[in-house]
A and B are shown apart, each in its own frame.
Chain A
Amino acid sequence: MHEFDWSSIPGSLPFLWQGMKVSLEITISAVVFGIVWGTLLALMRLSAIGPLAWLAAGYVNLFRAVPLVMVLLWFFLIVPHLLESLFDLPRGADVRLISAITGFALFEAAYYSEIIRAGIQSVPKGQMAAASALGMTYAQAMRLVVLPQAFRNMVPLLLTQGIILFQDTSLVYVSALADFFGAAYKVGDRDGRLVEMLLFAGAIYFVLCLGASRIVRHYQNKLKTA
């Protein structure tokens, strides 16, 4: 039977809190940027302009085909140095946080665009037809009729994807950036208390994510009754 020793936790709380801030910062920036860029991608993909649709599909499929870890690794090790040599920037800046946010945002946009596309497609065709019949242009119909309905249906999925993203921030370990999970892991490894630190981290994630998904649920129910 495993013996537990939780003594590593109190001393490491400030470090864990730093890590939590990194996790939240990455999550929030990636969700905001991801939804904006994802919506554009979804619209491009559904548009009647061939090259646009083709480009968006290529982007989405590429990012969906590569594991997030690999994307982060590319954005950490290779992209910054390409940019540095292209724009003659000073070398060796600490790009860990910015590269993580960029990698996450571009990656998540691909997922958001799929959710949003499915949301748009779930709106019955008649809505579009009705809007056109009222004399709206395609853009007006999208903005005023289709997108509001689609987003309404999609909000729970979008937020749920945000919760998944929050859990995935642990993958930033590739750049030795300490998010909450990474901080807990490092302390556990250093003190030989991995199991305890990971159980602790798991419990915190569970409480936060459960809380967040309850809020999503509440919102969902409100939508239904509205």
Chain B
Amino acid sequence: MTASHIARLLAATALTGLTAVSALAEEVDYGTFDGYTLRVKLIGGAQYEPLYTRIAEWEEMTGATVDVLSRKNHFELDREIKQDIAAGTLDWCVGSNHTSFAPQYGAIYIDLNGVVGEGTLAAFQARALENATVDGRLVQLPRHSDISNLYYIKSLYEDADNQSRFKEEYGYDLSPPETWDQVKDQAMFFADAPRFYGTQFVGKDEAITGRFYELLVANGGQLFDDDWNPVFNSDAGVEAVNFFRDLYEAEAVPAGALNYLWDDTGLGFASGTVALNLDWAGWASFFNDPENSKVAGDIGLVRAPKGSAGVRTGWSGSHSFSITETCDNTEAAASFVTFLTNHDSQMIEASAGLLPTRSTVWDDAKAQFAEDGNDFLVQVFDTYAQSMAEDAFTPPLITPWIEVSNEIWPRLQAAILGEMTPQEALDEAADAARLVMEDAGYL
């Protein structure tokens, strides 16, 4: 029975033809759960869906049926899970999760150490597992990771006229930026509002908190000290706020940026009206697809630049799966999440440009891109591999992270709009964050 499963898995691998070199060091028995119905809640949306075509395969292999109770975006799902906790209706087994959300949910998800096979866990990148751990418990199995790097319009940098004018104005050669100060210079140089913008940033919700946070770290600051006192109202913090504020005041970013989320910045860059764009790996294929994007074929990519402390920005997180404490068949649930994060599953996600959490998939996906002649995605994976390995850091994995974030971002907006000075805004946010941390029992 078990041998045939592996054989079937290998056959499936050969059939999908995604990879020729599928070194299965780990032996996985996906088990048999005839007649069992596994209830799951998954994150929905175009880039997450292709993986779910694999569910049918798992059903066939194990004899179980998967009942997808909901398929929503993460914010909707978050609300739903909180309602389930409140109403005591955690009558499902597997839920999609994310680094930023996981700490809120406390003990509703089980520790996967000892539930998912050790061989399986060993195949994941150590960093990815570390980020999936809350209070020493591995509450998530990471499916793919996220980190941002800097996309730019290549032809702008190759233009001789731009090069000479830039050198004259700023005193150094025009080349893709190494530091955030250079980003600021170049963004202001390229900007010609309202036709064209130097760069852009997401302007609300956890999105801008995250961007602020990574720049804070890159400038040598911290959100909290070792005792969880908020300390982001430091010089490094003010410097970070000023970065956004200066760009905004110089109209180097779109005037509506403060209302932007990820879709707006992504679509903005694809519309060809923005020179530099710090963005996630998931956008790479979209940007380079002539059907969707006006800058296809003209995109450069460099690692995220350095802040004033010489540290690169690297706000990172992973999408993941978790298993509930109330699950009636942990074994089936473990088999399911293992299957959806196995080598072949991750190859499907990687082929769309999502960043794998298994070391071998990085290489195999890259080999696949090279074979397909997709040099751009090869470059994307090279760049992102490096930043994942060297620059990545997560937000503090604390229960009230979203709540702290909700205290920070409206004040960042106020500072960027000039309603407060950066120092005032950060002081106020730090006081409010302190209250939240006190309420949550950290202080």
**A and B interact physically:** no
